[in-house]
Amino acid sequence: MSKFRKKKKGMPAVNTASLPDIVFMLLFFFMVTTTMRETDLRIENPRLPSATEIKKLEDKSLVSTIYVGKSKDPNRDGVGYNKIQLNDKIATADQVPNFIFSKRDKIAEALHPFMTTSIKADKESNVGTITDIRLKLRDVNALKVSYSTQKGSNN
């Protein structure tokens, strides 16, 4: 008889043994999809203009990015929305060719025509600055340019 009386009433604990598995799965997903920002921004995060006719940049490794915007440190770099950042330094348009050459060094020659320069410029920066960059890019035959924008709504 005692055998039956022993039965204890109470909620059984939820088995959490598989919780780490679930969490790990999520973890791996985020680890794989994460892209870390490679360069520190010396300029304030540019407020991109918006457009509707946009194309996605296909191959990340063939893209070199030029930032244009307002410096985070106006005491050192001066004010205004026309500061150019190459790699992680504030630079001038004259240094753009060298920047492109250093990017090209890392990539096979056959792929050079497919390299794209993405210009991330603040919407308040001036067209003059962009033109300076564009002329320099043309000088070194980096002809594919993408003006980075947000996806705007169709009005």
Residues that bind another protein (CB under 8 A): 16, 19-20, 23-24, 26-27, 30-31, 33-37, 49, 51-57, 60, 63, 68, 116, 118-119, 121-128, 130-131, 134, 137-139, 141-149, 151-152, 155
User: Nearest to residue 114, comparing CAs of 54, 55, 57?
Assistant: 57
Burial of residue 129 (number of CB atoms within 10 Å: 0-12, 13-18, 19+): buried
Minimum distance, C-beta of residue 83 to another protein, in the bound complex (Å): 13
Q: What residue type is 149 in one-letter code?
A: T
Residue 84: CB minimum distance to another protein, A: 13
- Toward another protein, which CB reaches closer, 24 or 102? 24
Tokens standing for residue 84: 């150019």
Query: With respect to another protein, which residue has the nearer C-beta, 89 or 135?
Result: 135
Q: Which residues, at least 6 apart from 123, have a Cβ–Cβ distance to it below 8 Å? A: 46, 47, 48, 49
Which residue's CB is nearer to another protein, number 46 or number 90? 46
